[in-house]
C-alpha cells in the first residue's frame, strides 16, 4: 500500500492519510506468481483478495472437453478474489 507501484500512476487518485492507514491494515503480504501459474481454482473459496500489480491475468471456465473459455482479463489495479 505505502510502497505500491500503482499509486504514482495518473489513473489512480491519491489516498488521504486516513485511507492509506485503513487500506494498509488489510494487507497481509504479497503473492508473486510465475507466468502460467494458477492463483485461484474454479469453485474454490479464498479468504484473500489480490491486487494485480503487474502483468495480466485471465479468468476462465473449463469446458467439458477440456478446453478453456476465457471470461475476462485482469490488468494492474484490478482485484482478484
Q: Is 19 inside any structural domain?
A: no
Alpha-carbon distance 43 to 61, whole Å?
10
List pLDDT tens digits, range 5-51.
888 888 888 888 898 888 888 888 888 999 989 998 888 888 888 88
Q: Is 9 inside any structural domain?
A: no
Give the structural domain span for 47.
Answer: 31-80
Q: Is 45 inside any structural domain?
A: yes
Query: Tell me, what's the pLDDT at 44?
Result: 86
**How many domains does one find in the chain?**
1
List pLDDT tens digits, range 44-70.
888 888 889 999 999 999 999 999 999
pTM recorded for the entire structure: 0.76
Residue whose C-alpha cell is 485461484: 40
Amino acid at each position: 500500500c505505502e510502497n505500491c507501484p500503482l499509486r504514482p500512476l495518473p489513473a489512480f487518485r491519491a489516498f488521504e492519510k486516513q485511507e492509506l492507514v485503513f487500506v494498509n491494515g488489510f494487507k497481509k503480504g504479497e503473492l508473486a506468481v510465475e507466468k502460467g501459474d494458477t492463483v485461484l481454482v474454479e469453485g474454490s473459496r479464498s479468504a484473500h483478495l489480490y491486487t494485480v500489480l503487474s502483468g495480466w491475468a485471465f479468468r476462465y471456465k473449463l469446458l467439458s472437453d477440456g478446453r478453456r473459455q476465457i471470461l475476462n482479463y485482469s490488468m494492474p489495479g484490478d482485484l482478484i478474489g
